[in-house]
Structure 1
């Protein structure tokens, strides 16, 4: 008997894409699927679009939130209703190829129980569904160029972003042991990766098993926006990583990641968070004069964000062009 896979789709103002996204689940070659949709108080026509699909497929579990409770809490709503052995977190503007779940379940069922995540390569598409490029560069045979980290990847997770989050399938028992997503955070993937990769392994499938939608400002990281809550969430995760790390190498990698977040604080004009990151860094090593200078400049409240936003718009157009020329997303400046 095939294990059940629960797909949890959270939707907020995706009326143009949510039907295609949900149909990509319904049309999977794998049949043992539970589909849970949470409309997180959309202000567009998303709820009506979803309801029409639920009328066609009444087996869909539809949760209607009267106010937006945030991504992490909404996902946990779905997790509370999940009956599957494996879980997929699906954004309402992304699309799954028909064989995705079948291939990921097959891989998971062949792996030991210390594997928490199966992930894959992904293609990036625009608002019309046209292909822009790939997460990992492809060879002529359709497989990724270079070596994608797999197995024990905790250090690599600490070091950099390299997994296309929408491509992952998670073992539900691990999610439950971790308590689901941390509802105090404004985004989920960095925290989940750190907490799960510390104790469990990840397996990479060398196939394109996800289509991730890139909309107008999808490539412009929200970390650089003034007043965004993501820097605070990142600081919380770095504190968790500090508690979890054990070797000097792991602490050194974490220190470098913290320095990158301090740079983001400077651009986002957030001196309080820069000081918090600097304090955490000081527990690992001497921050050094360059970091102290950056924190000092941040405290001067220099109006640098407007200039960065102009640069970010130019960079987004450049990155889209580079993707269309074959440069993988994972190599683009973030």
Structure 2
């Protein structure tokens, strides 16, 4: 009989799944996050505990779990390098056929990996990314809402999110809950992992991946995403936000990747929204850059030009 922790068993039975657990000052939430990895019903796991130079005692907790689960790998980074580089360092050393980027302020429900592996296998080799709905929880772990609106019977209020060729859709709007994603290794290898020159990873990954790979939406709630003041989403577009420049870089990449007028129109929708956010929070330099990109899509409206004029009135 094959045993789960042998390479032969992975090849014959089920694929190995790598979980890269990324931590930066998540001490308050680490136990819940790491216990949720240990509670997975799927046995073929390769776990990397990666600490990005935490200063809140997280490393002590991670060492304790690495001792308790000696098959887990521990990577303590001496200086803060950011999510993209920290993830890539573990990715390059890992072996899983599927990969999960897991922030250690979130929680995996017990069937998460098993259900997602089955879904990815059913979708076929062109599916590079699988994602699903998630429950948003507060700092105490209490329910806030779901990522996608649901009625009292638990059914989505709106039509199911996009699957298949989603390139134009990821340009147009945010709809994927980042913590729910599972990646196919061959896709990550083709893309070279995350772009380490960026301050955040998800938008860039969606754009580059969706150009040649399919995405699959799984209508299940398999992850809990924690909302707290330190999360990236709470800082977006505020003065000093380090992520706006990365968003502009991704939009520049996307402009070179668009092939059809509908794709350019989708990118224009994104740029239009980003432009208004930049003007709203008085980020003049970024607003002007976004306006120039919007003009390059040949989709700018008279109202866009009016907002563009406002961007040149901002001092920054």
Tell me if TM exceeds 0.5: yes
Number of the residue aligned with 1:296: 309
Does residue 134 of the first structure (1) align with residue 129 of the second (2)? no
Separation of aligned partners in 2, 1:139 and 1:232: 37
Cα offset for 1:65? 0.8
Number of the residue aligned with 1:122: 134
- 3-state DSSP of counterpart to 1:224: coil
- 3-state DSSP of counterpart to 1:84: coil
Number of the residue aligned with 2:3: none
Q: TM-score, normalised by structure 1?
A: 0.86
Residue pairs, 1:236-275, within 5 angstroms: 236-275=249-288
Residue pairs, 1:25-44, within 5 angstroms: 25-44=37-56
**Structure 1, 257-266 or 287-296: larger mean CA deviation:** 287-296
Number of the residue aligned with 1:100: 112
Cα offset for 1:223? 2.9
Contact 2:268 2:299 in 1 (8 A): no
Does residue 69 of the first structure (1) align with residue 81 of the second (2)? yes
Does residue 278 of the first structure (1) align with residue 287 of the second (2)? no
Cα offset for 1:287? 3.4
Deviations 1:78-100 (A, max 9, x none): 11111100000101100000001
Separation of aligned partners in 2, 1:231 and 1:67: 23
Cα offset for 1:48? 0.5
Separation of aligned partners in 1, 2:231 and 2:159: 26
Separation of aligned partners in 1, 2:132 and 2:231: 20
Residue pairs, 1:216-227, within 5 angstroms: 216=229, 218=231, 221-227=234-240
Contact 1:271 1:299 in 2 (8 A): yes
Cα offset for 1:219? 8.6
Number of the residue aligned with 2:59: 47
Aligned counterpart for 2:23 among listed residues 11, 24, 35: 11
Separation of aligned partners in 2, 1:217 and 1:30: 31
Separation of aligned partners in 2, 1:138 and 1:292: 38
Stretches of structure 1 that go unaligned for 5 or more consecutive residues are: 304-334
Contact 2:17 2:44 in 1 (8 A): yes
Contact 1:222 1:230 in 2 (8 A): no
Residue pairs, 1:313-332, within 5 angstroms: none
Stretches of structure 2 that go unaligned for 5 or more consecutive residues are: 1-12
Shift in CA distance, 295/227, structure 1 to aligned 2, threshold 3 Å: farther
C-alpha root-mean-square deviation of aligned residues, in Å?
1.8
Cα offset for 1:291? 2.9
Cα offset for 1:142? 3.2
The number of residues matched between the two structures is 303
Q: TM-score, normalised by structure 2?
A: 0.91
Separation of aligned partners in 1, 2:197 and 2:281: 21
Aligned counterpart for 1:180 among listed residues 188, 193, 209: 193
Deviations 1:221-258 (A, max 9, x none): 43321132211111111111111111101101111211
Aligned counterpart for 1:151 among listed residues 150, 154, 164: 164
Separation of aligned partners in 1, 2:49 and 2:157: 35
Does residue 192 of the first structure (1) align with residue 237 of the second (2)? no
**Structure 1, 280-289 or 194-203: larger mean CA deviation:** 280-289
Contact 2:284 2:315 in 1 (8 A): no
